[in-house]
Amino acid sequence: MGRGLYDLDHPWFRPLWRRVLVAGTALGWGVFELAQGSPGFALLFLALGAYAAWRLFVTFNPREDE
C-alpha cells in the first residue's frame, strides 16, 4: 500500500538527476516568480523547493521496490 501523495522516499527518486530536477524546478520557479514581482507565489515555490531539497538530499532514504 502507498505511503501518501507526497512520498519522497519512493524508489522513483533513486536516480540523482530526478531529485535535482524536482527540487531545482521548484526553486527555479520560485526565483522566476520573485523576478516577476509576485512574492506570494515566490514564497510558496521557494518553500516547496527547500522542503523537496531537504527531503531528497539530506534525509533521503529510499525504500526497497515493492
Domain boundaries, the chain: 15-58
> Which pLDDT score, from 0 to 100, does residue 2 have?
55
> Which pLDDT score, from 0 to 100, does residue 7 have?
86
Q: Using 50 as the pLDDT threshold, list the residues of the chain that sit under it.
A: 1
Q: pTM of the full predicted structure?
A: 0.86
> Which pLDDT score, from 0 to 100, does residue 62 have?
84
CA-CA-CA-CA torsion sign (33, 60, 16, 2): negative
> Which pLDDT score, from 0 to 100, does residue 3 have?
65
Q: How high does pLDDT run on average in the chain? A: 91
pLDDT digits (tens, 9 = 90+) for 22-33: 999 999 999 999
Q: Which residues, including other chains, have CB under 8 Å from residue 44's CB and lie 6 or more apart?
A: 30
